[in-house]
Structure 1
Amino acid sequence: MSGHKSKKRKVASESESASNGAVDTSKPSAVFKPTKGRQHTLSLALPGSIIANAATHDQKSALAGQIARACAVFCVDEVVIFDDGQAVTRAPEREGYTAFADPNFFLYHVLSYLETPPHLRKALFPMHPDLKTAGALPSLDMPHHLRSDEWCPYREGVAVRQGRGSEASSRTLLDCGLPQNVYLPTPLEEKTRVTVKLPNERPTSGHDLACEAVSPDAPREEAGYYWGYGIRQASSLSAIFTDCPYDGGYDISVGTSERGVPVQTILDAASEAYVEPTWDHLLIVLGGVAGLEAALAADSDLKGAGVSDPKEVFDRWVNLVPSQGSRTIRTEEAVWISLTAMRPLVEVRNAV
């Protein structure tokens, strides 16, 4: 008993820690701090078929949660869920449940939910069986997931209702997760998500706030904030490229395979595979259980164009883990590995 008690330590208060010169570890220090506007983006594409390999709903949701966490940690701007033809899909089950019917949509649905700021979820995501355990997944805690007492010149809001009286047709009340009412001086349909710009400093009064609607890219392009990931579905491997939302497409596309060159070569300035830090839109594509070879085999457009080797589709074809000890690397593992391996590429580009 006495031995147990002797191991107890007194927890110093914040003021005591400061006076002792000790580091206060009670609060997070790794808060995202923007430095300058950023035009370039990082995209990640992976097949929804990986969800079909998880046996239970909880495992499927947890898998989606792992992917979302990796995307948040490494500031992925776009996630593409593509159909690699390796999972049978059918019509949704009762009440639209897709976990066992359409793995591509299920992954898209859960990732969309997790990216959405918590104060918007009730309005934008009605009760759905796909999301029955999503609330228990680890928080992404991204810069746009703001607390009510935090101030940022940008926020995500949802249209709650039109203004009242004579203002009904000219402005919209938004829920932006703030204690004040926030109004947009334009009419919006109820439950519309919108990115808004507010004053740089928190107003001293609690009066209603007027805001300006901006592009979802504005926080990144104007101020350099990481503002979560956009997400879309692609019907095939080739559709990742043909449906690209960026003008001019992706500058650099990186396909992953155990038959590729070591990933370090694209980081080595002396290598022919080196990626210069001048790109605007970088895309990383991961395969499923059968690899990107299977995705190519299921893509009629690429096969019709005479593409016989998946490495022909990409600018770089890399092996994430040369001499791997396990026979296979799971896609959810490859997400973390690829984003970690290519982080230096992004950091160099950020510094330009």
Structure 2
Amino acid sequence: MTEAEKTKKRKKEKVAKEVDGDRPTASRGRNYTLSLAVASSVVGNVRNISNAASVAAQIARAAVAGLVDEIVVYDDERGASESTSSFLSLALQYLETPPYLRTVLCPLEATWQTALQKLGAIGAPHHLGQTEWMPYREGVVLKSSSQTTQIEGGHAFIDAGIDRMVYVPMHLPVMARVTLFLGDQPTSKFVSEYSETMIIAEVVSAMTPRMKHGLYNGFVIRVATSLHAVMKECPYKSGYDLTIGTSVRGVQRGHADLVLPRFSHGLVLFGGMYRGLADIMQYETDFAGKNPEDLFNIFLNICPSQGCKSLRTEDAVLLAIGYLRPALLHYGGDKGNIQC
């Protein structure tokens, strides 16, 4: 390699390092979470199931791109049809689930399944092919025993989408979805009672890939009956310590002026198809006498001077993630209050 080629290579490596400097890697975990709250009415006025599925897919792809850990689907209209929140939550769950697990874990109505299957892949990193090897994989428990002559405490056999069954030396509920640690290289074991060689794995928390290695492992779905329930029923003990409401009525901030508090659990909220967040708050009695500025850390306009009269939620989600991502990476977890 000539000196000029070496110099060119060093420049490329420097640029790559600068571009990816904030991305979680296998050597650095991510100790904060990001949640989105979307209104069920986003699929309430679409013409058919195919269009509704497309809306769900757009939200799912944006969530994966932004490393979203939780999506909350909430009812934003009094007496809203359960079918809208049910479809959106089930569609998002279907899209997040690795394809090799969908038949077992996500049984859907035929029309829903057909519409979702026609959509392209969302590109989630935990959607692995049969021959792709990663330290972590999602699987489903097919068989389990609480007693065994070989290992005290039981064992389980898991389908993880590879050419062999996975063996775990512990009892697990059948049909449960689990996160497996397989290591950098496969380790196998001959299981005499089934006369089959299986891969040995360890069951870990679904949060382990993110917290230990910075590897994205998909999002969970939560359904809330109201905007108030989105906040009140937070799954984290400390609650959401960063809440960002999005609205055309919100304040405008350039990237350089967007300063966030240090946070562990962030939540970005979007209004409904017919009502924005401010109108939904007026509609819910739990927020009587409160303004958006009282509820959210920041009430933000994520698309100033927009060309359309109103943004659809699926478009707003993608725009918000792109707009907020640099700030979220800087202020999330233990990185401190560094201005972007």
The letter for the 1-side match of 2:282 is A
2:4 maps to what in 1?
Answer: none
Secondary structure at the aligned position of 2:223 is classed as strand
The letter for the 2-side match of 1:198 is L
Say if 2:25 and 2:213, in contact at 8 Å, map to a contact too. no
The letter for the 1-side match of 2:155 is R
Secondary structure at the aligned position of 1:159 is classed as strand
Equivalent residues in 2 for 1:149-228, closer than 5 Å:
149-162=131-144, 166=149, 170-203=154-187, 207-228=197-218
Say if 1:49 and 1:86, in contact at 8 Å, map to a contact too. no
The percent identity for this pair of structures is 35
The letter for the 2-side match of 1:199 is G
Choose the corresponding residue for 1:252, options 242, 266, 286.
242
Say if 2:72 and 2:223, in contact at 8 Å, map to a contact too. yes
What is the Cα deviation at residue 119 of structure 1? 1.0
Say if 2:139 and 2:180, in contact at 8 Å, map to a contact too. yes
- Provide the C-alpha distance between the structure 2 equivalents of 1:174 and 1:204, rounded to a whole number of angstroms: 14
Alpha carbons of 1:60 and 1:167: their partners in 2 closer, same or farther (altered >3 Å)?
farther
Equivalent residues in 2 for 1:331-350, closer than 5 Å:
331-349=313-331
The letter for the 2-side match of 1:334 is A
The letter for the 2-side match of 1:117 is P
Tell me if 1:74 matches 2:59: no
1:146 maps to what in 2?
Answer: 128
Tell me if 1:110 matches 2:91: yes
Tell me if 1:121 matches 2:102: yes
Per-residue Cα deviation, 1:87-136 (whole angstroms, up to 9, x for no partner): 731xxxxxxxxxxx521111000000100011111111224243331111
Tell me if 1:311 matches 2:301: no
Say if 1:144 and 1:156, in contact at 8 Å, map to a contact too. yes
Long gaps (5+) in structure 1: 1-29, 90-100
- Provide the C-alpha distance between the structure 2 equivalents of 1:328 and 1:176, rounded to a whole number of angstroms: 43
What is the Cα deviation at residue 34 of structure 1? 3.5
1:235 maps to what in 2?
Answer: 225
Alpha carbons of 1:69 and 1:86: their partners in 2 closer, same or farther (altered >3 Å)?
farther
TM value normalised by structure 2: 0.82
1:327 maps to what in 2?
Answer: 309
Q: Which moved more, 1:110-119 or 1:161-170?
A: 161-170
- Provide the C-alpha distance between the structure 1 equivalents of 2:276 and 2:241, rounded to a whole number of angstroms: 23
Per-residue Cα deviation, 1:37-91 (whole angstroms, up to 9, x for no partner): 11101111110111001111111111111111111111111111111116731xx
Secondary structure at the aligned position of 1:183 is classed as strand
What is the Cα deviation at residue 208 of structure 1? 1.8
Say if 1:84 and 1:298, in contact at 8 Å, map to a contact too. no
The letter for the 2-side match of 1:153 is P
- Provide the C-alpha distance between the structure 1 equivalents of 2:181 and 2:40, rounded to a whole number of angstroms: 34
What is the Cα deviation at residue 33 of structure 1? 5.1
- Provide the C-alpha distance between the structure 2 equivalents of 1:74 and 1:43, rounded to a whole number of angstroms: 10
Say if 1:157 and 1:194, in contact at 8 Å, map to a contact too. yes
Alpha carbons of 1:190 and 1:204: their partners in 2 closer, same or farther (altered >3 Å)?
closer
Say if 1:48 and 1:107, in contact at 8 Å, map to a contact too. yes
Secondary structure at the aligned position of 1:110 is classed as helix
Long gaps (5+) in structure 2: 1-19, 191-196, 336-340
Q: Which moved more, 1:197-206 or 1:132-141?
A: 197-206
- Provide the C-alpha distance between the structure 2 equivalents of 1:39 and 1:204, rounded to a whole number of angstroms: 32
Per-residue Cα deviation, 1:327-348 (whole angstroms, up to 9, x for no partner): 1111111011111100111232
Per-residue Cα deviation, 1:260-317 (whole angstroms, up to 9, x for no partner): 11142xx445xxx6214x21111110101221123213322222xx32x233210101
Secondary structure at the aligned position of 2:245 is classed as strand
- Provide the C-alpha distance between the structure 1 equivalents of 2:308 and 2:245, rounded to a whole number of angstroms: 20
- Provide the C-alpha distance between the structure 2 equivalents of 1:102 and 1:311, rounded to a whole number of angstroms: 32
